[in-house]
Amino acid sequence: MTDPKYRKALIVGAGTGLSAALARAFARDGLSIALAARNPDKLGVLAEETRAQVFACDASRRADVERLFADLDQHGAPDVVAYNASYRVRGPFIELDADEVEKSLRVSALAGFFVAQAAARRMVPQQHGAIFFTGASASQKGYAQSAPFAMGKFALRGLAQSLARELSPQGIHIGMWWSTAGSARSAGRRRPTSLTASSTPTRSRPPMCIFCGSRGAPGPGRWSCGPGWRNSDRDIPGSAAERANSDGPCRP
């Protein structure tokens, strides 16, 4: 069930796949939407469909991210932020171009930090908000000839885990989803075009635990197995710090 407290969503790295499905899901839930991408011209149709604002932003540049959030502050900061951008480099390891690998890590991981930090600085004082990251199977295991992508997605998952433990006690939900829900095949790869109700980020049951990687939420009212995705971690014994660093019922 959608949480009525959420009002404004920002999707960074918006495009035509998973992020478009997220925008439509947010729109159905009544959130106002902002879409950000390096090339905003491609977002015209989606923006019209979801009545979204569109912004140009290269998230790998911290100045761009700060400018984006400053622009959004004029009408109220978003309380849901989704980071979807990534950059892939493929090839035999010994032939990889180091500059391209650096770019991949900046877009897939460091830019996620820029966006999450800017979002958290606005959410923490309000004790309210949600920050989400787009993962992949490479968030859990590396594949041959795809080392840079795995490096970036592993780093992004580590960021999500750390933020969950630190910010969940302050009222900030942190999550990461794998783009496998409601997908269609394109060029032999799974390309998501829609989301099930249970994987909509403002709903209470996302598809995968960022701590142990298990699929499906363990029960109503929880974001996932680990404490960072819970609506409440009060059932974990010990101090607040101990609860924040506990994996709860999941077993990584």
Pairing of strands 32-37, 8-12: parallel
Residue 139 has pLDDT above 60, yes or no: yes
Determine contact, residues 75/124, Cβ cutoff 8 Å: no
Q: Sheet containing 129-135: give its strands across.
A: 53-56, 32-37, 8-12, 80-83, 129-135, 172-178
pTM (2 d.p.): 0.77
pLDDT digits (tens, 9 = 90+) for 78-97: 999 999 999 999 999 999 99
Q: Which tens digits make up the pLDDT trace of 170-180? A: 999 999 977 54
* Superfamily holding 8-244: NAD(P)-binding Rossmann-like Domain (3.40.50.720)
Backbone angles phi, psi at 20, to 5 degrees: -65, -40
Mean of per-residue pLDDT scores for the chain? 78
- Residue 117 pairs in a beta bridge with none
Q: Is the distance from CB of 116 to CB of 47 less than 8 angstroms?
A: no
pLDDT for 211 equals 57
pLDDT at 17: 87
Q: Which of 52-61, 187-196, 234-243 has the lowest mean pLDDT?
A: 187-196
CA distance to 150, 156, 174, 207, 210, per residue, from 140 (Å): 8, 11, 18, 15, 10
